[in-house]
Chain A
C-alpha cells in the first residue's frame, strides 16, 4: 500500500513565524503535491513537483515556497505565517506513468492554526 505521511496532524504557530510542513512518501513516486483545503473552496493546489529539485507553481503559490531535495520528501514552507494561512494542508504523491499511475495518494493532512 502507498503510504504518504505528514509530519504533524495539528500545528499552532504565531503570525510572522517561519513554518515547515513535511511530507514523505514510500512508493518512489516522482510527482508530489501540496494542497490547501478550506470550507466551500475545495482543494486548491499550492505547488507541485515532478521530480527531485523541480517545482511548479499551482493556483495559489503566494506566501508559500517548497523544497524537494530527496525524491521521497516534499516540504512546504510558509516564509512568514499569516492568519489567512490557517487551513488544512494536504500532501499527495503519484507516479509519473499514464493510466493507473495517475492516481494521487493523499496524506492525513496537517491542520494549521496561525494566531
Chain B
C-alpha cells in the first residue's frame, strides 16, 4: 500500500522569499503524484500533478514540483511567495488501478510581511 509523509507541519516564510514544501512517498512502482492547496474553510484545489515524462512539473499560481525517484520525493517549490499563498498544502499519491489517493497530513504555510 502507498503512503505519504509531509515532514513539516507548519512553515513560516517571508513574503517574497522562496518556498520548498517536502513530500516523501512510499510505493513500489511509479506513482501518480499530486499537490493540492486548501485555503481556510475551503475544499482542496489541484495545484499540479505528475503521471509520467518530464520530472519537473509546472502548476498553477507559479508553483512547480520535481519528482525524484531515487529519493521517493515530490517537493513543491515557488521562487517568490505571496501573502495569498498562505494555506494548507497536501501531497497525495495514487497507485495504478482504481484505488483512492492517499494524502499526507498536510503542511500549513504562513506568510509574514
Q: How large is the interface on A (under 10, 10 to 19, 20 to 34, 35 or more residues)?
A: 20 to 34
Q: How large is the interface on B (under 10, 10 to 19, 20 to 34, 35 or more residues)?
A: 20 to 34
Main secondary structure of the interface of B (DSSP, over half): loop
The answer to whether residues A42 and B43 also contact, given A48-B100, A100-B49, A100-B51 and a CB cut-off of 8 A, is: no
Residue of A nearest to B102 (CB): A45
A96 interfacial by beta-carbon distance below 8 Å: yes
Number of A-B contacts (CB under 8 A): 52
Binding-face segment, B12-20, B68-76, B103-111: B103-111
A13 interfacial by beta-carbon distance below 8 Å: no
Give the contacts of B55-82 with A (CB-CB under 8 A): none
Q: Is the CB of B45 within 8 A of A106?
A: yes
Q: Is the CB of B44 within 8 A of A96?
A: no
Q: Is the CB of A106 within 8 A of B34?
A: no
A85–chain B nearest beta-carbon distance, Å: 19
